[in-house]
Amino acid sequence: MKLAQKYNRINIAVTILIFIAGSVSFYFILSYILLQQLDNTLTTEQQEIIQYAREHKYFPEVLQANDQSVVYSELQGPIAFSGFRSVKIDDPKNDKHEHRRELIFSINIAQKDYQVVVSKSQVETEELLRLIILVTFVMIALILLAAYLINRTVLRRLWQPFYQSIEEIKKYDLSTNTKLTLATTDIDEFSLLNNSVSNMTDRVQHDYTILKEFTGNAAHEMQTPLAVIRSKLEVLMQNETVLKENIQPVIEIEQFVNKLTRLNQSLLLLTKIENNSFKLNENVQFDIILIQKLIELSDIIEASAIRITTTIEPVEIKFHVLLAEVLISNLLNNAIRYNYEGGEINITLNQASFIISNTSLVGKLNQQMVFQRFYRHENTVKEGNGLGLSIVKQICELAGLKYNYAFIDNQHVFHISFS
């Protein structure tokens, strides 16, 4: 859920609760005020009747109206009730009832006590109250709607710098060695966020550059010791006496030296790719390179009894020959290395894409990690240097090619799109 939506929900909910509480309070206060106004009217009538009776020694003429009435009755004893009260009077003709407000008091005229009941209808008061409540609720609804629309518009504008920064961060690529530049804003919180992110990316960029330089330097410096070790190893292998007594350790040393050499070459290649040392401006016959690599690997394929199915069309693209060879070799080697004896490899090359699928003893790979450096499936038995698919990823990103992995019909499928 977006922050603006969550804020609007909380804001509207709290506002509605406040308006409900305010409306209830307003209703009772307004009812009390209107009732007091009605009582004041009845009190005025009482004073006029008392004053008239004292001056004339008889009651004023009763003028009945729809909303007001006065009733005089002689008392035979003390008055039962005096003061204000609200009553409900039934109207049998209309099958309705009417609320009225009464003021009951006593008065003595000519040595006789009388009860006077002055009443006034509350219909108009109730209608006025209902009208006011209706208008109030309409105003509340309009205020809520206006507040929602205003908040939505204002919040969208206020959050615009934040979303601009997010887009810049999404587009930022650490390997390009460029500084992350975020737009300036007059909102302190966003300005603080932008400064913090910029400082953090600067530190990460610095550390990444140092690490990349270290990797490149280390790989480069390892070449000479590896060459010396390989040279000394070849001398040992020519010595039959040494070889006869230590053949197994020598073979293991040779295997580890070969593995370390391949790892060193892969690291050097990755460093060159990341440093944009390759220019993709050559017309490369992708199909010819693919066929050549299949011929080179034919002995290994036959030894493993792997069945190869190919659909190869002529494809020429702007690329770098070395990178094309590495891309194809890594995918082919990966399909062969992690296959099983008697397995299958299916290869499709056309103007749109390059697809390699293979059977394997291991199940589905982690799609998020498969192109990461040194990733291996937990059930992998044969091990490479863990950089093959990472190099494929770097080459594709350098050339702007789309790449993905899928596990379909118990086969690992690697798809490179040229378009």
- Give residue-wise pLDDT tens across range 213-271: 776 677 667 777 777 777 877 777 777 776 667 777 777 777 777 777 777 776 777 77
Task: Answer yes or no: is 411 within a domain.
Answer: yes
Share of the chain above pLDDT 90, in %: 16
Output the average pLDDT for the chain. 83
Residue 26 sits in the same domain as residue 118: yes
Domain that holds residue 16: 3-146
What pLDDT is recorded for position 288? 94
Residue 311 sits in the same domain as residue 290: yes
Task: Answer yes or no: is 167 within a domain.
Answer: no
Domain boundary among 146, 174, 198: 146
What pLDDT is recorded for position 132? 81
Residue 201 sits in the same domain as residue 319: no
Residue 39 sits in the same domain as residue 75: yes
Q: Look at phi and psi of residue 342 and say left if phi exceeds 0, alpha if psi is from -120 to 50, else beta.
A: left
**For residue 63, pLDDT beyond 70:** no
Task: Answer yes or no: is 180 within a domain.
Answer: no
Mean pLDDT (whole number) for 338-358:
93
Tell me which residue of 222, 247, 225, 223 sits closest to 236, measured CA to CA: 247
What pLDDT is recorded for position 93? 61
CATH code for the domain of 327: 3.30.565.10
Tally the domains of the chain.
3
What pLDDT is recorded for position 91? 65
Residue 101 sits in the same domain as residue 61: yes
Task: Answer yes or no: is 177 within a domain.
Answer: no
Structure token pair of residue 56: 């004339």
Task: Answer yes or no: is 155 within a domain.
Answer: no
Residue 263 sits in the same domain as residue 330: no
Task: Answer yes or no: is 194 within a domain.
Answer: yes
What pLDDT is recorded for position 90? 73
Apex CA 8: angle with CA 3 and CA 13, to 5°?
Answer: 130
Residue 406 sits in the same domain as residue 298: yes
Beta sheet of 411-417, edge-to-edge order? 307-312, 344-349, 353-358, 411-417, 402-408
Q: Within a 13 Å sphere around the CA of 390, how many CA atoms are in the beta-carbon half?
A: 18
318, containing H or E segment? strand 316-319
Q: What is the DSSP string of 75-109?
A: -SSS-S--EEEEEEEEETTTTEEEEEEEEEEEEEE
Domain boundary among 250, 269, 288: 269
CATH code for the domain of 246: 1.10.287
Task: Answer yes or no: is 410 within a domain.
Answer: yes
What pLDDT is recorded for position 265? 72
Residue 61 sits in the same domain as residue 127: yes
What pLDDT is recorded for position 305? 92
Residue 139 sits in the same domain as residue 263: no
Task: Answer yes or no: is 156 within a domain.
Answer: no
Residue 285 sits in the same domain as residue 388: yes
Residue 403 sits in the same domain as residue 288: yes
Domain boundary among 211, 236, 269: 269
Q: Report the alpha-carbon distance of residue 74 to residue 56 in Å, rounded.
A: 18
Residue 12 sits in the same domain as residue 115: yes
**For residue 19, pLDDT beyond 90:** no
